[in-house]
Structure 1
């Protein structure tokens, strides 16, 4: 991502000066800088999107975990109630059949709560995996966009040094590596 909101204007100014020099190589370098700036902006946008999605997925997993904990608490409460009615039914007496029926009712609720909690656990785990994937992409894109920004700076050195070719060649290599790394983020 850009360090300064005016960074692109600085690169455009260097390119404009190069265009007025009449040197076709410097014009080529200027076009290279413009292309690299567009690629950097695009990769930077993807980096931001991946970061936001990682945070969003992690937040969703926390919310699902809260629902899971509540559901397991409901399961445990029903388990305690079921056991109390089992004990009361085992003691016998005129209400033993009612206690046994109530125990079965809590057992059914307990079974439903277990299934719901296990489903929520799977959803939580899936969201955490999604978050880790987005976070990994974000880190990979950060490396890629950083190399592209360095490539822009190195290409600018070629203009400042009045047409030296080695900085431009180095910038092309760095830009290509940065772009490949950024593309690799979506192949993983």
Structure 2
């Protein structure tokens, strides 16, 4: 049987030659790229996580708004019944005392429904505000992720061009990414 014959590509040949000759520039760029990719993975996770949390909070706000609307409907029903009982208490031949008591009962139930509805609306507003804060944070994480991806791309170009100014530009993009990530972590 014959052994498999493999022809290395020019890129593999260059990388092997650079590695054997101790190309410290390429090694530094490779390490820088690996660190940036690791930071990018962390940023990507945080961006996704904050977006999911924001969506959940927005969903909770919608649930609270629906419950508040239900309470307002209940309030309206009790208000109608109160009005009918009040009307009946003033009609001749009706048990005025009974309908006056019914009107008072509906009035109390209506007040309780109003308080519940307002409390639910406050909870909905709190969920909405939390969702907005998290969504802002998500945008910061996404901006940080974009900056680190630009940094990684610039590092690849640096490796090809071997330009020191390009390496500094790649590091700058990585630094910007860290700043944006810090702002996201602090919810700014």
Q: Residue 71 of structure 1 contacts residue 113 of structure 1 at CA under 8 Å; is this kept in 2?
A: yes
Deviations 1:52-110 (A, max 9, x none): 11111111111111111110000011001001101111225451111111111111111
Secondary structure of the equivalent of 1:185? helix
- Provide the rounded CA distance (Å) in 2 between the counterparts of 1:158 and 1:173: 13
Q: Deviations over 1:2-55 (max 9, x none)?
A: xxxxxxxxxxxx998864552112111111111111111101100001111111
CA 1:40–1:20 in structure 2 vs 1: closer, same or farther (change >3 Å)? Answer: farther
Partner of 1:45: 45
- Aligned counterparts of 1:52 and 1:17: Cα–Cα separation in 2: 47
Say whether the 8 Å CA contact 1:44–1:145 is kept in structure 2.
yes
Larger radius of gyration: 2
After TM superposition, which residue ranges in structure 1, 4 or more long, deviate above 3 angstroms?
A: 14-21
| Residues 19 and 30, structure 1, Cα contact 8 Å, conserved in 2 | no
Query: Does the C-alpha gap of structure 1 residues 88 and 17 become closer, same or farther in structure 2, counting only changes over 3 Å?
Result: farther
| Number of residue pairs matched by the alignment | 174
Matches of 1:17 and 1:98 in 2, distance apart? 101
| Paired position in structure 2 for 1:85 | 85
CA deviation vs aligned residue, 1:154-188 (integer Å, no higher than 9, x gap): 01112122x32222111111100111012112322
Q: Does 1:113 align with 2:113?
A: yes
Q: Does 1:184 align with 2:183?
A: yes
Unaligned runs of 5+ in 1: 1-13
* Residues 97-136 of structure 1 mapped to structure 2, 5 A cutoff: 97-136=97-136
Q: 1:125 to 1:71 in 2, by over 3 A?
A: same
Residue 169 of structure 2 corresponds to which residue in structure 1?
170
Unmatched 5+ residue regions in structure 2? 1-13
Task: Using the TM superposition, name which of 125-134 and 164-173 deviates more.
Answer: 164-173
- 8 Å CA contact 2:61–2:128 kept in 1: the answer is yes
Task: Answer whether contact 1:154 1:171 (CA < 8 A) is retained.
Answer: yes
